[in-house]
Chain A
């Protein structure tokens, strides 16, 4: 049935991913107390998106799974991005 071998992530790699995610969480908390003006929210969102990408790629296995999954997720995120852009265009220039 499935000819290609399944990729098995090691415990160590999961641990490493976990440590990176916790580090990013600490960074995002720390950055809140630094005065960066409007960039604070941007920074928080960039860090959150990075964490989300790591979870999707490694924990949710998109990096190693069939390409179809990566394609579907990208498509849905693109649709969501379009919805955001249209909503705010409508909202800001009404």
Chain B
């Protein structure tokens, strides 16, 4: 009778069951902050008059937004969380061993099935791909949870999204989630959990699932949740849980669970898409984009900075050149991804094509640094938000897409579906 979300929240609030709308005090398994939200959380934590965090193995701070430090104020913010991490003995990753938080935490085995994870970052919902209940909050919530190990929550209703059928060659998890956001709108899942099902999901790799869970927030959702299956288990086996983390538990939605809404899509008809400015819900097929000349392409972020994203980009860019009127910036999501991309020769492909390859950072995704847009410039990006001014000047424009569309666009100089560049059939290449 219960959904995954309800089961996890019941288990973490000492109840047999919870229902949507219930308020619950929920114990948390991992608490996260970054170099922007961490300093504020630390400031509020100090006001509580406690000296230690509830469990140092279950609090993590990741410097990633303006890291490596882009200026003196951001260096001071990074210093704040570094010093707090040393003082408290919490989990911390220094630049060079780090990455974008939502790429890093699953890789490092800090989050797993059945966990409740809260993070002072809205894309904390990414970990739902592993069968966790993970949600973003603000710094003050994080401060309170760092002290007490629990937090109040309102149990969300669950919306079930079913993607029937198999995907077209160039369609990815990014296209499915953008398509769904285009359909239900950016507040279409407000306060709800989105639960993903269907054949297209069963055959999707973990990276694709992370991408989809990541963007649940772009529909206003509190969480994006997947059931654990063989693909998840394989990921967990190769990314073992770190010592001191909470035990994992697999939850499955009951067949007669109450969903607030069930939405079904025929995934086989979904083409690669692009979200036009200035909302992630402004979605159209890339093939109908018209002639949109692009000045900059960014491939990276917590949405699409994982290895399979870079592999697809490399598959398209191999032997080709970035269009002469455009810059292409490629940012591996973590040090591990970066290393693997070097080992597999992907970085060579990018450099040969004339792309910029950077150390892991959020950088341009939030208009921080490493690719800020001038007035009138257009960027096509594999990130998750295209609000006014998101990547620079308020007079610039951001278009969102998958890495495949981004790579094809980088070559063409204008928005281009990958089929145009690479052909309609995509043979699997093993690197």
Binding between chains A and B: no
